Amino acid sequence: MSPVIVTRAISTVGPTLKAGLFALALGGFALGAPDGATAQVTAFKQAVAEAASASDPVAQFYRETGYTAIWTGRDDAARSRRAALFRALGEAPMHGLPDRTSEINALMDVLKSVQTTRDLGRAEVAMSRALVGYASDLQTGLLQPRQIDDGIVRKKHQPDFAAYLAGIRDQAPVAYLRSLAPQSAQYQALLREKMRLEALQQAGGWGPQVAAKKLESGDSGPAVIALRNRLIAMGYLPRSAARSYDGALERAVQAFQSDHGLTADGVAGGGTLAEINKPVSARLKSVLVAMERERWLTPDRGTRHVLVNQTDFTAKIIDNGEVTFVTRSVIGKDNADRRSPEFSDEMEHMVINPSWYVPRSIVTKEYLPKLRNNPNAVGHIEITDSRGRKVNRATADFSKYTARTFPFAMRQPPSRKNALGLVKFMFPNKYNIYLHDTPQKSLFQREVRAFSHGCIRLAQPFEFAYALLARQTENPKDFFHRILNSGKETKVVLDQKVPVHIIYRTAFVTPKGQPEYRRDIYGRDAKVWAALERAGVVLPGVQG
């Protein structure tokens, strides 16, 4: 079969077969041909050097490897790499990445046009660029988090182009390309949920929405039947002919509420019905966003780490992949200057009986206006000068200061009424965010718990401290309370730093395999989805 015949046949087959046919088509141009071998090698190197000059990591890789071809040889290894790459590019949408058909076609055009050894060098670089582009999107994410929302301050781990090229060269190509996707249990579970939702979408979804404002035990009528049918389709209720809001339907509503972060009272009120009526496409978007967010996280989370999911209002300690402690949390209020940011850091110590050093933004925006009207306002807060000396409120004239010129600091001494409660957990960062206790315990009973200035408040801070201290003291509870009862502000250094990951997931899968969904309280996921769409990601069934 001549190269001309092969290239004509290529346009009529799928990506996997195309890769195999290209192996034949390129055979006549492979390096190392007996005639003019030295001239061919030199021309190939020059072509690679020229084509890679605009991509420094790729160019550096070829310089360091003596411009050895990865893709364009006529040996079985090169053929396997080409086939594996085309197959992977064709499967990109499976991972929630843009369809790469146009890129595949462009690569094929480059390969079909090979007539000289210099053409072969340019084809070599084109294949390498395709690999590193695909690999970096799959492994570290398609988007730049900080460009999406000011609160997403997460730093992605940087892709290693040279490692990608060395990996495809040295390892079994298909297995290597599959290994590039995040290997976390959460990513794999999200991938399965994506496929489940896609099948549901193609089958027509969950049926008609429920047209009602509120439904509860004892109700009947068309809306109750619609609710019953939708919960059956969602898997929360076995097939039933019941026409009233009976005990089985109430329990199904409670299960749905639990899986969606709602108060599980069994009453289908406005908030619950809004979540029940969301279409499969909305849940699928959440999953695709969650997969992208999972790619942003470093693969090495820490064998022990703290995970705070803002939309779930929880803080967890994870040991070797298992949740060993969980508590409710309160996060930043949904105001521009109070939303909790997303980032990762390392917890270094805790402070028992902490003082609260009031952030400058709170001092000038909230307390200074009160002090101008009444110098004795916020009397539980100490006002100190630049030397740390307490300011006499009776003689101070706060009315002459502006937010810019106010020269004092403010501090709340340790006490049970302290804004930080009785313990805080520190992972020093420029955002001044940490985890802490709070005297406002009633807030943990709320369904939506977004009330703080940005820090993460914990419902069970003492138990959280015990769990952290258990690895460095025999009796963590006694150790903690001995310091607490002293009333003295005390810093306790952790023998081993604990990574803290503050994330934002509206879709996640529990360790038991149950998919759960939460509301987009800050609107960040909507922004991420819009950015994914702009980058070319589409929902199945709506392409073109």
Cα separation of 26 and 40, whole Å?
A: 14
Classify 529 as helix, strand or coil. helix
Which residues on neighbouring strands pair with residue 308, listed in sequence order?
315, 502
DSSP 365: I
Classify 448 as helix, strand or coil. coil
Of the candidates 436, 453, 481, 501, the residue annotated as catalytic is: 436
Cα separation of 493 and 473, whole Å?
A: 12
Q: If you compute the radius of gyration of the chain from its CA atoms, what whole number of angstroms results?
A: 30
Q: Are residues 381 and 410 in contact, defined by beta-carbon separation less than 8 angstroms?
A: yes
Cα separation of 281 and 296, whole Å?
A: 23
Q: Are residues 48 and 124 in contact, defined by beta-carbon separation less than 8 angstroms?
A: yes
Of the candidates 95, 453, 455, 501, the residue annotated as catalytic is: 455
Residue type, 396: A
Q: Are residues 384 and 408 in contact, defined by beta-carbon separation less than 8 angstroms?
A: yes
Cα separation of 154 and 340, whole Å?
A: 12
Give backbone dihedrals phi and psi of 195, rounded to 5 degrees, phi first: -65, -35
Cα separation of 318 and 428, whole Å?
A: 21
Side-chain-side CA neighbours of residue 157 (13 Å): 16
- Nearest by Cα to 136 from 57, 51, 52: 57
- Nearest by Cα to 359 from 433, 258, 442: 433
- Nearest by Cα to 85 from 150, 131, 37, 139: 131
Region of 313 on the Ramachandran plot (φ > 0 left; ψ -120 to 50 alpha; else beta): left
Which residues on neighbouring strands pair with residue 304, listed in sequence order?
319
What number of H helices and E strands is found in the chain?
Answer: 19, 14
- What are the tokens at 31? 């390096």
Place of tokens 């097939």: 239
Residue 481 among the catalytic residues: no
Instruction: Give the pairing type, strands 304-309 and 490-503.
Output: parallel
Residue 157 among the catalytic residues: no
Annotated catalytic residues are: 436, 455
